[in-house]
Amino acid sequence: MENFETTHPRFKITSETGKFLFAIYLITAVLVGINMLIAMMNSSFEYVAEDKQCLNWNMSRTAMWLEFADNDEYLLPPPYNILHYPVQVCMRKWKAEEKEKSKDPAEKMEMNKVDDPGREGILQKIVNRYLENDTKE
């Protein structure tokens, strides 16, 4: 501010006007600087908030993936889980047919025998089947 001082009385008004304009310039510069700082902080906050939303979205998406990966009931995500059931039914039928083909003919005839229609005969067959299956396992 010493540079604005003048000893000549003729430039007194010019000196005071210069000081006033310089003060207005400094106040304006400080206000613009503060506004820029606020804008930068706001931008940083929005970036962090947006990143947090992205992080929340990623975490929920990962949680959904893990739900399908850990759950044995759901083998595929919802649009494709309809395909699982027909494939499962076909596989069970195919395995049953393969199991039926692999049996001995004598074993098939024994299972289809109906020589004892009484209660004791049926119970005896059930016990024999249970014992045969139990010894196989």
The number of beta carbons lying within 10 Å of the beta carbon of residue 75 is: 15
50/7 same-domain check: yes
Residue 126 lies in a domain: no
Residue 48, amino acid: V
pLDDT for 97-121, tens place per residue? 888 887 766 666 666 665 546 677 7
pLDDT surpasses 80 at 17: yes
61/101 same-domain check: no
Residue 44: per-residue pLDDT: 85
CA dihedral of 16, 22, 25, 31, whole degrees rounded to 10? -100
The answer to whether 53 and 45 have CB atoms below 8 angstroms apart is no
34/52 same-domain check: yes
In this prediction, residue 7 has a pLDDT band, given cuts at 50, 70 and 90, of confident
Residue 115 lies in a domain: no
Residue 23 lies in a domain: yes
pLDDT for 47-89, tens place per residue? 877 777 677 777 777 777 777 667 766 667 677 778 878 888 8
Q: Which residues have a Cβ under 8 Å from the Cβ of 115 and sit 6 or more positions away?
A: 121
- Single pTM value for the model: 0.35
The torsion angles phi and psi of 45, rounded to 5 degrees, stand at -65, -45
Range of the domain at 18: 1-72
Give me the number of domains the chain comprises: 2
68/79 same-domain check: no
Tokens of 22: 């310089």
